[in-house]
Structure 1
Amino acid sequence: MQQGESYMKVRSFQLADYVTVTHLLEKVLPEACYDETMEAFARQLSWDSELVLVAEKEQSIVGIIIGTIDNNKGYFYRVAVHADHQRQGIGKTLIETMKQRFVHRNVSRIFVAGDIHNKTFLPVYESVGYRATDYSRAEQRLRITSGY
């Protein structure tokens, strides 16, 4: 860590984070994406809050990743990083930490939800080793069918 850089911590979402995360998503995401993401965020919290991670710097939440598991497959659903903290490796760290969660859950394969809103973030996924074949273009939005 270089001088002037602050320590970043990735941890599971906590209920006390809700207002801060909601404001972060509202600032970072386009309106249509925000509405979809908030629906998916609420569903994922009710299913498995351990698959919602936040990045903290100086006790402030600067990023979030929402993942899900469906039929033994892990999906990166949405990553959002505060504009003042982009291009600092936060998105990559969130992706790597979520990947570790998926691995610990013994998922058979990991995909990136390839919806229209994730297109701008695809180069970040590619920079950590995901390829076009790892993008799921399913029409369903973060929906779990039968258990995992």
Structure 2
Amino acid sequence: MRDGLTLEVLVAADYDQVRKLWAAAGLPIKPNGRDSRAQFTQQIAIGTQTILGLRDGKRLIGVVVTTHDGRKGWINRLAIHPDYQRRGLARQLITAAEETLRQQGMTIIAALIEDWNKPSLALFQEAGYIVHDDIHYLTKRDSHDV
């Protein structure tokens, strides 16, 4: 990384910093569901999720979550602190996430981006991702909070 920034794999103990960063970056959080401390810890322990953090000194300024199901990798929850945006750091985290997933054997990498998030959609398209208008994303949830 450039400018004295460091990239590291985050652990469960980093949860509070990650959640604070997500909030600062404007990412919606499901505190009683998939973004809870318990889920965060469990997802790391299972081993199919890797959370990469970008630090300026000790300050967490960027984060990206990678997951996979053994055949396809996913880039999730990409966030850069507002004080550090527009410096190319999100693109660097995408590249780091792709490298992590490829090291785990993934040859297909995807991202789900909500339609309101135009900057993220543009970022991923600039990184070579293709929008598939012919695919519909369907979910079945036990509750709205998960």
Q: What is the Cα deviation at residue 130 of structure 1?
A: 1.3
Does the 8 A contact of 1:64 with 1:79 survive in 2?
Answer: yes
> TM-score under structure 2 normalisation?
0.76
Three-state SS of the structure 1 residue aligned to 2:18 is helix
Three-state SS of the structure 1 residue aligned to 2:128 is coil
CA distance 1:115–1:10, shift in 2 (3 Å): same
Bigger proportion of residues as helix? 1
1:101-146 C-alpha deviation (Å, 9 max, x unpaired): 1111111311112334654311111222112149x753349xxxxx
Does residue 56 of the first structure (1) align with residue 55 of the second (2)? yes
- Work out the number of aligned pairs and report it: 136
- Which residue is 1:14 aligned to? 11
Does the 8 A contact of 1:54 with 1:64 survive in 2?
Answer: yes
RMSD, aligned α-carbons: 3.0
Moved over 4 A (4+): 116-119
1:63-90 C-alpha deviation (Å, 9 max, x unpaired): 1001110241001122011000001111
- Which residue is 2:66 aligned to? 67
Once the two structures are aligned, what percentage of the paired residues are identical?
21
- The more displaced of 37-46 and 124-133 is 37-46
Three-state SS of the structure 2 residue aligned to 1:103 is helix
CA distance 1:137–1:71, shift in 2 (3 Å): farther
Structure 2: 5+ residue stretches without partners: 141-146
Residues 1-148 of structure 1 correspond to what in structure 2 (within 5 A)? Answer: 6-30=3-27, 33-35=28-30, 38-39=35-36, 42=40, 44-48=43-47, 51-116=50-115, 118-133=117-132, 138-140=137-139
- The more displaced of 37-46 and 72-81 is 37-46
